[in-house]
Amino acid sequence: MTTAATITADDERRVLDGVPTGLLVGGTWRAAKGGAVFPVVDPATGETLAEVADAREEDALAALGAAVAVQESWAQAPPRERAEILRRAYETIMARVDDLALLMTLEMGKPVAESRGEVAYAAEFFRWFSEEASRIAGRYARSPDGGSRMLVMRQPVGPCVLVTPWNFPLAMGTRKIGPAIAAGCTIVLKPAEQTPLSALMLGDILAEAGLPEGVLNIVTTSRPGEVVAPVLADSRTRKLSFTGSTEVGRLLLGQASGNLLRTSMELGGNAPFLVFPDADIDAAVDGAVLAKMRNIGEACTAANRFHVHGNLAEEFADKLAERLAAMRVGRGTEPGVEVGPLIDEDGRNKVSALVRDAVDHGARVVTGGEPLPGAGYFYPPTVLAGVGAGSRLLHEEIFGPVAPIATFADEDEAIAWANDTPYGLVAYVYTQDVNRALRVSERLDYGMIGLNRGLVSNPAAPFGGVKHSGLGREGGIEGIDEFLETKYIAMPA
């Protein structure tokens, strides 16, 4: 049992020693071709935590071969059987929440309390899709002219390639693996190179839960471009589900088009957080802390920019700055830490550059504003007031603990600001006027709205964006559709 108050170096070692570090291919953990490995680094210290197999193209094609080999038998497995495997895996994850949370903190940096939250969120996708597995239904009808009968069935789409990012090392995997297993698809999973350890542990947990060999294959690599492209070009692959940056998503969509793959794309965001003059300002500040600081600001759903009515802007900035300045920054394993390190030096450099650019454009630093010295990639919670329209951070994903505040004069201006982006994942709206709430929600070009609430993610809800934030939905009753194909059978009357 490890909790934030009691984590020791021995706990860390024990958890790391329990992680399989090979490639999972056809139910066997094995080395990469030529025995290549790459290091996984603790972003709080810069030290190597573990070395994992560094797959090459032929390893990835072997993983695809293993997935293809069992696709037909897996599609025939009774839905209840698939459901019960997911349910057992859910139970195991929850039973091991402390170890999984510690592992996640070590490789990704977020505070252990937050990692526990992600582990529970991740597990919930398995519970949710275990419940959906036995509800896959089709339909039957007579044709309108009575001349034929129509049967519609839904079948697994086939072998899937799942590519996931580092910021939610477990949940971004289970959000895809859960519905793929429930639907009867086989899988090649490629986790992010920064955080492969949580995904590797998941491979063991699913095997323990009874998942047949070959249904889930895991390929870790430091060369994702070289390894993923040939798998997408292979005609045996039928689906790509990707979560990550819009830039890489666009590239992979291009690759997927050659093979006409079904695709689900969960991409970048630039979430506006709108505070109208009739908002409950303290509730808005509470929501802002959550929407901004969850995951150290490294979330696609992170509030990227705050547009606050001119009458409230100063009070909002002061209250938010007071809350953020009080948050403790440090290694996520230490008790009381609320803000861990950013993922790497590039991530921190980007945040620093965006803050400097905003200041050059006239923004005032209310708190924070400079990277922290010493080991690890730490950046303090930062509030910038009076952010000018030309500032880059209003248009680019910040991915760090920085809250830029700009003002608006009326509803039309707020909506124009909010929609002035190619992204469309989530927008947050604070108002106590129910008519305004619905009117504004209708006009926002986003896949999700947080209405007087700073957190939208829920495994039972359809998560996803519009425009450059992606295609398709994950979670909810919609999530399994992404892994099912529709077949129509025409019969005589």
- Looking at the annotation, which residues are catalytic? 266, 300
**Of 12, 118, 397, 481, which one interacts with ligand NAD (CB under 6 A)?**
397
E-assigned strands of 215-369? 216-218, 239-243, 262-266, 271-275, 303-309, 364-367
Question: 117-156 burial, b for 16+ CB within 10 Å, e for fewer?
Answer: bbbbbbbbbbbbbbebbeebeeeeeeeeeeeeeeeeebeb
Judging by beta carbons within 10 Å of its beta carbon (0-12, 13-18, 19+), is residue 13 exposed, middle or buried?
Answer: exposed
* Contact flags string 175-204 toward ligand NAD, x per CB under 6 A: ---------------x-xx-----------
Please state the φ and ψ torsions of residue 163, each to the nearest 5 degrees.
-120, 125
Work out whether 321 is an interface residue with ligand NAD (CB under 6 A).
no
**112-133 and 171-183 helices, crossing angle to 10°:** 10
Q: Cα torsion for 232, 234, 236, 242, to the nearest 10°?
A: 0
Binding pattern for the stretch 449-488 against ligand NAD, x by CB under 6 A and - elsewhere: ----------------x---xx------------------
* DSSP code at position 467: G
60 binds ligand NAD (CB under 6 A): no
Q: Which helix (H) or strand (E) holds 349?
A: helix 345-360
Using the rule CB under 6 A, is 240 a contact of ligand NAD? no
Interface pick for ligand NAD out of 18, 210, 225, 362 (rule CB under 6 A): 225
430 is an interface residue for ligand NAD by CB under 6 A: no
Interface characters, 76-105, with ligand NAD (x: CB under 6 A): ------------------------------
The separation between the first and the last C-alpha atoms of the chain, rounded to the nearest angstrom, is: 64
Report, in Å, the least distance between residue 198 CB and ligand NAD.
Answer: 13
The set of long-range contacts for 387-390, using a CB threshold of 8 Å and a minimum separation of 24, is 387/305, 387/358, 387/361, 387/363, 388/358, 388/361, 388/362, 388/363, 390/361
Looking at the Cβ atoms of 156 and 269, the one nearer to ligand NAD is 269
Nearer to ligand NAD, 195 or 367 (CB): 195
111, 156, 178, 224: which one binds ligand NAD (CB under 6 A): 224
Minimum CB separation from ligand NAD for residue 267, in Å?
5
Q: How far is the CB of 102 from ligand NAD (least distance, A)?
A: 21
Give the per-residue contact string, 135-174, with ligand NAD (x = CB under 6 A; - = no): ----------------------------xxxxxx---x--
Distance in Å, CB of 111 to ligand NAD, minimum: 18
Type of residue at 317: A
Does residue number 266 form part of the binding site for ligand NAD (CB under 6 A)? yes
Quick one: CA dihedral 364, 304, 247, 343, positive or negative?
Answer: positive
Using CB under 6 A, list all residues that contact ligand NAD: 163-168, 172, 190, 192-193, 224-225, 228, 243-245, 248, 251-252, 266-269, 300, 397, 425, 465, 469-470
